[in-house]
Chain A
Amino acid sequence: MTALSDHKTIGKLFLVASVTFAVVGGALGLLMRAQVPDAGSYRQLFTLHGVVMIFLFLLPAWLGLASAVVPLQVGARRVAFPRTHALSFWLFVAGAAMVISSPLVSDVVSGWTLDSPLPVGDTSGGRGQGPELLILGLILVAVAAVATAANLIVTMLQLRAPELSLRRIPLFSWSVLVSSAVMLMALPVLIGALMMLFVDRHYGGQIFSSAANKGGDPLLWPRLFWFGAYPLLWALVIPALGAMCEIIPVFARRTLASHSRAVAAIGAIGVLALAGWGSEIPELAPPLFALGALAVLAPVAAVLLNILGTLRGTQVAGMGSKPVRLGSVPPLAVLTGITVAAAGLMGALVSAIDAGGSTHFSTWSVATQHLLFFGVSVVGVLAATHFWAPKLWGRHLAEGAGKFSLLALVGGLHLAFLPMFLLGLGGAAAGEAGSGSSPLEAISTAGAFALAFGLLLFAANFLTSAVAGWGREAEADPWGGFTLEWATSSPPPPHNFDELPALASATPLLDVASQLEASQLELESVH
């Protein structure tokens, strides 16, 4: 196995690529908020901003973190298919390059859902257009994600340490397993839909055509798209919740309030994520979809309460030298991330109850989606990167810059999107350039700038550490972690582990420390 097919290298490459694309996507979003005068440019930026943030930032960021961390957490020496893993990354890069360069070919103004006027309207514009490049790029990115998800699933099922039963795998790995399963069910449908869209545009197919006597159905597109995209949005939140469940216990020196309930809740999000897809389509939205969109919120809230409940528990025995450090960046990110999640849950709850009301397809839903999906996921990426960076490349990310970027990011999220709830109730439609005159819009714009600044600062902090090797050198177990990845050196050797500790629970290192402390106490009592 060469270094380029080592899962840690591939994971880091995915992360570096995703953060680089986040800067590009953030810049595009910022241009949007800065009120570009002509509406066509606004639609173009609107499209790219959404596509980049979801498919080129959050998706590869979690694929990268999962690729790097999961094999270590489950005690595997490698991923199941190292060469396929490397291929997935390069497929992603090729697809991402196609997506990013698509507006250079011709205007792409369809919105990130690619629904207007892409499938319905002009499909006769000839070959080699920007939208076609965008579609092909997205197909490659989705194929890369499916291959990586399958690789991680097989790694966990087949290559985990012998004593590690599925019930004992750590919560981040469990969340990756659930998220990968959701991706495997959602992304292929998206790939199929994109294939049909490409055939329609490039080869003159008629599936989504509105032409008379051709038998096409334009309304088919949003159904197929959201069937794939809605679960995908949840698949990007699930690993964030899994990482949060790992981080708080380590820094609070307590075990999670209930490991088994967290396992059940994360699994339930995965199942229910597949139920609410129709809630995003104006023509559909029957009660069943509203119910699905509502039901998925309960396990999300359960996970958040589980994390908060951990803070009330009693401190664990062992690892006495590691104090409670809730002021570090990873736990701070989790705790502030919970405020973002709470605001998003509120928005989604009201939307689910208010079926067909003014909260739908207005800036209310924009705020809900950005807080619940983007907000939780991006704060999770920040928390998880700060948490695992010392392990993965042996360097801490800068603590001060980390706190500052977190403040800007979370503050920006609240400032940018809470006013949008009110604007939405006032009837502001989603996806259109506002007049920019009201105080609420001004606050929202300021928040967007803060958010973009936070992302930029995080990107700079991350890239200088991961690529340039800046920052404090990390010891093997800088945080006093509970799970297997902390039982090897930082960064780990190519084969990951020289030897594995005994695995009797989901927190093996905690067991080792407790046993050590118990034997020391026994020794003291003998003497």
Chain B
Amino acid sequence: MAPTATTGPAPTATEPAVARPPRPSGDRALSIGTMVVMAADFLVLGALVAAYFAVKSGSEVWPPKGVAVGTYIPTVVTITAVLSAFSAQWAAFAARRNDQRNVAIGFALTIFLGLAMVNAEWLALSQAGFGVRSHAYGTLYFLLIGYHIVHALVALPLMGIVGGRALAGHFPAARADGVRATAIFWFATTGIWYVVVTALFLMSPHA
């Protein structure tokens, strides 16, 4: 398999790296743009997490009395998130090889796993036994998990569209960056879940 996604010729002995002007080619603009936007997106999440820990540090009992959310569903969602990252990368690798059928298969698998995650999270919210209005913990519990669900609900149709278009032959190796950007969006979505699960469950005592 020949590498197709190089950004320029490597410097040789006759052409020292310092003398060669940089060559921004623009062919990775979409994936770099996605990374920049997702970095900003993580800072929005950062504000929510900061609020969570600020409220937590000001409370004597944490989580508040009567809260019993359990760790079963979050554990299942976390394992699914890890698996879905592999299937999304499957699609990205396939795009580089110009294998558009496997792009569609990778994204179809990711959509399946993503739907399972959203379903489990929805179940966790509906069985929480408290609401947004109950207390600050409740507000942030719904906001943090909701923030992940919203991202998944954007990513799932996006992967559907890109996967479908790949089947129609719209993503040859030269345009693999679109597939890579979609995969990056999904990685960031799973990343949001890891942050949420760390704040809400790993760093807070739960029965």
Contacts and interface: CB of A to CB of B under 8 A. Distances in A.
Interface of A: 80-81, 146-147, 150-151, 153-154, 157-160, 162-166, 184-185, 187-193, 195-196, 199-200, 203-207, 209, 213-217, 220, 223-224, 227-228
Given A154-B29, A184-B36, A214-B135, 20 more contacts: A147-B37, A150-B33, A153-B36, A154-B32, A157-B24, A162-B22, A165-B22, A192-B48, A196-B47, A196-B139, A199-B139, A203-B132, A206-B138, A209-B136, A215-B58, A215-B59, A217-B54, A217-B136, A223-B54, A224-B51
User: Which label, helix, strand, loop or mixed, suits the secondary structure of the A interface?
Assistant: helix
B21 interface: yes
A508 B112 CA distance: 54
B202 interface: no
Given A199-B139, A206-B133, A217-B54, A192 B32 contact: no
A209 B132 CA distance: 12
Nearest to A151: B33
A196 B55 contact: no
B23 A162 contact: yes
Contacts of B143: 195-196, 199, 205
B47 A217 contact: no
Contacts of A154: 29, 32-33, 36
A189 B44 contact: yes
B67 to A, nearest CB: 11
Contacts of A203: 132-133
Nearest to A192: B47
A195 B44 contact: yes
Interface in B27-68: 28-30, 32-33, 36-37, 39-48, 50-51, 54-55, 58-59, 64
A158 B37 contact: no
B54 to A, nearest CB: 5
Interface in B129-146: 132-140, 143
Contacts of B45: 192
Contacts of A187: 40
B14 interface: no
Q: Identify the 4 closest CB pairs spanning chains A and B, nearest first.
A: A192-B47, A188-B43, A205-B139, A215-B136
A220 B51 contact: yes
Nearest to A189: B47
A191 B136 contact: no
Nearest to B22: A165
A207 B191 CA distance: 24
Interface in B1-23: 21-23
A207 B40 contact: no
